[in-house]
Amino acid sequence: MPPEPVRLDRRRFLTLATLSTVALAAGCGQPGAGRAGQGNGGRMGWTTPMRIPPLQVGEVGADGVRRFSLTAAEGTSELVRGRTTRSWGFDGPYLGPTLRANRGEQVAVGVRNELPETTTVHWHGMRLPAVMDGTPHQPIEPGDTWEPTWTIEQPAATLWYHPHPHGDTAAHVYRGLAGLWIVDDPDVDDGLPHEYGVDDVPLVIQDRDIGDDGTLREDRSIAFWGLMGNEILVNGTHDPYLDVTTRVVRLRVLNGSNARVYHLHLSDGRPLHVVANDCGQLPAPVAVDEVTLSPAERAELLVELDPGATVVLRSRSRGHGIDEGDFDIVQLRAAASLADRWPIPAELPAPPSVRLPATPTRRRFVLAGDARINSRSMDMSRIDEVVPLGAIEEWEVWAPGVPHNFHIHDAAFTVLDVDGRPPPAHLAGLKDTVFLPSGATARLAVEFGRHADPTTPYMYHCHILRHEDEGMMGQFTVVEPGTEDAAPRRIDVDDHGH
Ligand code: C2O
Ligand code: CU
Ligand code: CU
């Protein structure tokens, strides 16, 4: 990664982007594949019904534990029509099932690794003990099964899971390892559509660089941002369309890309009604023209359609680099007559926002330099921050140079302000990842989970996966209040990370 200052980064990036445009223009025969930096806009065909990841609700045993299983393995997929791609997935060749469980339940997941490499599986957005978190400290060797268990104690939300091996997260996610985890709250009646795959539809949006021979290209030498491509996949589907049979459809959107930022909007200008952020619902739907999602962020959107209408969900270009290029994401095709089951609700049973105490502990994080946070690069044996259990803290994160984002494990936060301005209403819900445009400072009110463990850390990091892999990540522990000073700042880590 090039050093700050930023203008150098940008110039270097632009040069590389220009070079790859030339390379693509010379070598790419696929119509609609787009050109680096130009997106896939203007292409004609919506040829493939959008895949819906299978739903896995697990099985509840006599002990009341809801058990899931996931097997990570290599496979073969047709990501782009007519091309065969070697990829990785959970219980299938690419991506993984959507897990679904209730608040209040104890869950367990058997995660089997049939890959040729050591990996981990992290439960992004989940509040759980650090030893269950699936970080680089809980590796799963090839042939092994790991079975974390915890109780779900958090509001209804769209969470997700993905590998988190030290230095290899970008490659493992890029090859296809990711899936959604829907948390329902049986005690709350939100009036939102919830029939999976019908009126409650997952959209895992990813960009990939797929060669004419089907190869998922992993050229690590280009671009400061890491792996990006001009083929947009939704749930692993290229050129997807979705048949909609209800007047209102709920889209659970995950930006599952390694680096790309999307500015989502609908082709005919109709609004997106945002009903939830990363970790929970908003107090009321917020109608907006555009929703920005950086990697790992989620938004739940309601779209209202007229009978027979076709509308395209698109991303519009902004600037250069991670949000450059106009992209068509998915075409929504409304049936000639639409069931009218769930009108857009006037209010939602939102969880309370996180409020700071009168004199909160403040911590400051600067994302800059050579993949560093506060001038330090990730060290698995170093504990950077120690947080007392039950604390609500003010975390200020600043990206003085190029854009980054910032994710905190085991936490939910409210964005207090960005550059001194409160966030728009559609970003006022509980989150675990915040986008930091170039130069931005975000102030967060952060609530951590309920599990103390002074020797097993959680992470905070940029979720642009190359940056994370290169060290833009730090570690924190949660400890019993009053034991902060005694808590270890170094831990033993063997070469497999545990
Ligand atoms: Cu989704 Cu530490 O990551
Ligand atoms: Cu996470
Ligand atoms: Cu970054």
Q: How much distance in Å is there from the Cα of 467 to the middle of ligand 3?
A: 5
Q: How much distance in Å is there from the Cα of 433 to the middle of ligand 1?
A: 9
Q: How much distance in Å is there from the Cα of 161 to the middle of ligand 1?
A: 8
Ligand nearest to the CA of 409: 2
Pocket flag, ligand 1, residue 296 (CB < 6 Å): yes
From the alpha carbon of 461, which atom of ligand 1 is closest? 2
Q: What's residue 76's pLDDT?
A: 97
148 vs 55: CA distance, rounded Å: 20
Q: What's residue 44's pLDDT?
A: 57
Q: What's residue 49's pLDDT?
A: 97
Q: How much distance in Å is there from the Cα of 44 to the middle of ligand 2?
A: 37
Q: How much distance in Å is there from the Cα of 321 to the middle of ligand 2?
A: 24
Ligand nearest to the CA of 177: 1
Q: What is the mean pLDDT of each run of 10 residues along the chain (498 residues)?
A: 34 34 31 47 78 98 98 96 96 98 98 98 98 98 98 98 98 98 96 98 97 90 84 97 98 98 97 98 98 98 98 93 95 98 97 98 95 97 98 98 97 98 98 97 97 98 97 98 98 70
Pocket flag, ligand 1, residue 418 (CB < 6 Å): no
Rounded to two decimals, the pTM is 0.92
Q: What is the residue with the minimal CA distance to atom 1 of ligand 1?
A: 124
Q: What are phi and psi of 112, to 5 degrees?
A: -105, 135
pLDDT in tens, 120-172: 999 999 999 999 999 999 999 999 999 999 999 999 999 999 999 999 999 99
Pocket flag, ligand 1, residue 461 (CB < 6 Å): yes
Q: What's residue 23's pLDDT?
A: 32
Q: What's residue 41's pLDDT?
A: 62
